[in-house]
A and B are shown apart, each in its own frame.
Chain A
């Protein structure tokens, strides 16, 4: 049984000019202990998907359809006060900016201890002792002395370590990490990713890792979902998606990343930009930018389907019944 099962999730934002669908019929699952990367460009819906799972969508946005199951229990219908105990206890969260997670008025020791007292029912003394152990585990030097420091007394990298301790200290089964290293310098990013990987492996925590950085995903994730215009374009084992993408968008995305190991004269280029949510084209949302689009792509919306590899892709090129049409177009 998967740890997290998201089925046909739909998130809407009502506006004066009509309803925007930010996440449209998205389904995926995460196994216990697995790291699922969610990658996409700004506006693809990756962060909103993560926020929907922990029900932290800013109103007027709302979950308009679908189901979210955690460990065999449906959580999207839980009343808000029950959901509050799911957040933190069962699902931890790490956001891009550690200052939005940490309360500037409380010492980090108090924030860690309170989290454990609330969720694990520990006494104050035991919670403080464990808080020190957590700070040691995330690599804060002189943890016993620094536990009574305030967030502003830490550097950016150290703060993100504290946030990781805070997300993991209630021993959740799942952590949702939204761009956890985007605000950090590259050498600090490497430290934080290594830390997150090690801790989640040691504690058997599953991770939904949301980022725009394909390199971070390639190093960290077991599987990856590529999102485009509110939908999953492709999902599969990370190596397959990186090395043998089956969706033309994924292919273009990989080609547009400058390689580190060698020089290319020109980067592959996807023409245009992702459509705004107000004018998503009919059929496949990627069709106006797709070099291989044919008639059916402009007409019917593809669902995720099997390909010739382990990846599934939402692309008519992989549908046996439209293959002749696709080849005809290419010829």
Chain B
């Protein structure tokens, strides 16, 4: 872990991630490889990511498809095992949680909201059973009457009616389904929610309702969020700190306003410049060139160098580490050497 990154780890961090990495084997079948003399192919989906999330705050990870943000989310909740690195939650190491009671009591405190509310709710279950599942799985409540009361309370809390518990998911719109997902995620009273693109399948007016609800719940219940999104406007609205990811690494990690007002990494600048914005009516933007390279064979050195206007020989050879620059952490040789005008 780079020494500079550890400095920002606040003592009250609820979640700490150190040098987290995950590889996926995407090789073709063995016989095919042997016949064609092909090597194994490994995708370094997440290649060493470190961050800390102070209690009650929101950290967002933002980036384009394939940058590894969803993999980080899945690693943090334990849906994938990391290839390398550590995850700490409230002081205890949860990198390889077992199935004992201690592990169960930690898992209860972590939950997740998924992107697609059409795929993440079981269509054969009534809404009340969907919401009660964490209560039963973690044996938070055993008495059926108490469970029913808790489900009714949760439904009201997310803006639905207790009567909706009798219905099936297909009877609801996308926004209402996402409310059901939120109720399910909250039912076992977690402290930490991982939200993977929770509003990107929703229309913008419905998105506003869900984002407002998520902010209200955070304030009320002191929740900590890891928020994954490709939408920079949504991320600006939701986060305290933002990590910008590119090809499996965090290239810039900064407080929200600092990131938007003084982006440092050339990739962050490019992303901000690329978003069409309502305020910019009539403004001409400089289009950016190139596409995200394949994560199977990432460019050597800084993975962004083929698209970067400031790249030099060092950028092509040496992977830059995250270094403190003011309030931000930036992984860029050009920023470090002052070659890049601030």
Give chain A's interface residues, CB within 8 Å of chain B. Answer: 41-42, 155, 157-158, 185-191, 193-194, 212-216, 218-220, 238-239, 242-243, 252-261, 263-264, 266-271, 273-274
Contact = CB atoms under 8 A, between A and B. Distances in A.
Interface in B92-142: none
B159 to A, nearest CB: 10
B299 to A, nearest CB: 16
Contact of A190 (B173, B237, B274, B281): B274
A189 B276 CA distance: 9
Interface of B: 64-65, 173, 175-176, 203-209, 211-212, 215, 230, 232-234, 236-237, 256-257, 260, 270-283, 285, 287-289, 291-292
A252 B205 contact: yes
Given A185-B64, A190-B288, A260-B236, A253 B276 contact: no
Contacts, number: 128
Given A242-B278, A257-B204, A263-B256, A186 B230 contact: yes
Contacts of A188: 291
Contacts of B289: 191
12 contacts: A158-B291, A185-B292, A187-B64, A190-B275, A218-B278, A242-B278, A243-B281, A256-B208, A258-B237, A260-B236, A260-B260, A273-B176
B281 A189 contact: no
Contact of B287 (A185, A191, A253): A191
B211 A267 contact: yes
Most buried by A among B232, B283, B289, B291: B291
A112 B256 CA distance: 46
A243 B281 CA distance: 10
Contacts of B292: 185, 187
B271 A267 contact: no
- Most chain B CB within 10 A, of A41, A185, A220, A274, is at A185
A194 to B, nearest CB: 4
B230 A263 contact: no
A258 B64 contact: no
B203 A216 contact: no
A54 B278 CA distance: 30
Given A218-B281, A258-B234, A190 B207 contact: no
